Amino acid sequence: MDKVLLEYEMKKRGLSSATLCKQIGICRSAFSKKCNGKSEFKLSEIQAIVNCLELEDPAPIFFNQKVSNKTLAGEATA
C-alpha cells in the first residue's frame, strides 16, 4: 500500500480522507489503519476507491510489493 501515492491522487481530485471515506462507506479510523498498513483494504473497498478516484491503474497504490534478492534467487532455481 502506497499511502503517499493515494494521498496524491486524492489531493489531485480535491478529496479529503473524510470525503473519500464517506463515499466508499468506511469510517476514518478504519481508513487510517488500512493506509498505515495495520490492516488491509478489502477488494470491494479498493474497487470503490478506484471508481471514486477514477484511477486507470490502481496497482501502484494497492499492490506495491517489494521483492528481496533471496526471493528472486529462489525463483530462479525453482
Fold of the domain spanning 3-77: 434 Repressor (Amino-terminal Domain) (1.10.260)
Record the pTM.
0.78
Q: Is the pLDDT at 71 greater than 60, yes or no?
A: no
Q: Provide mean pLDDT across the span 41-58.
A: 96
Query: Domains of the chain: which residue ranges?
Result: 3-77
pLDDT higher than threshold 80 for residue 57: yes
Q: Would the pLDDT of 51 be above 70?
A: yes
Predicted confidence (pLDDT) per residue in 28-49, tens digit:
999 999 999 999 999 999 999 9
Q: What is the pLDDT of residue 63?
A: 86
| Residues 6+ positions from 25 with CB-CB distance below 8 Å | 48
> How many angstroms separate the CA atoms of 64 and 61, rounded?
6
